[in-house]
Amino acid sequence: MRQVNIEQKTAAFNATRVANQKKAFSSDELYAVLKKAGIPRDIADKLNKYNYFEKEVIDGKTVYSFKITPLHKDAMESFYKEKRRAKKDWLESKKNSASKTSTKKEVTETEIILSLKAMGGYRVLKDSGIDTDRIKREDPELYKELRRRFTKWVVV
């Protein structure tokens, strides 16, 4: 990760704060102003999370404005540390989940059948075709019709 100049980011935020002191913004407008000043969205979210903006709800919509007090560079440093820590945790969890999925053993149909039989209470059935003898015995007319309609003829 590239090194961020904390003093420069803090100065950019404070300059934007002073330039927009008496203005009110919607959340999208606020993020656009901060982005223009070089403050990334995740840092802007942390500024919002830790109440570095005045918030007022008007007609069900939150309106933001900059506070009079400046942001200290230590606060900006802590935001970037939190951002780095979150990214590091995310990368580690992604790496761990990738290694877990790659080590999974594919279970075969035979293993599943054996495990179901071992648990008991299950009867595993398999289609072994049509019982033509039973059809012939129980419904001879149906058997004749089926033979007539579905017999496959081969030239000899």
* CA distance linking residue 11 with residue 17, whole number of Å: 10
| pTM, full prediction | 0.59
Domain count, the chain: 2
Residue 53 lies in a domain: yes
Q: Are residues 42 and 93 in the same domain?
A: yes
Q: Are residues 33 and 96 in the same domain?
A: yes
Q: Are 64 and 55 in contact (CB under 8 A)?
A: yes
Q: Are residues 12 and 42 in the same domain?
A: yes
Q: Are residues 70 and 42 in the same domain?
A: yes
The residue range of the domain holding 141 is: 107-151
Q: Are residues 55 and 119 in the same domain?
A: no
For 92-136, how does the pLDDT look when each residue is reduced to its tens digit (9 = 90+)?
A: 988 887 666 555 677 888 888 888 888 888 888 888 888 889 989
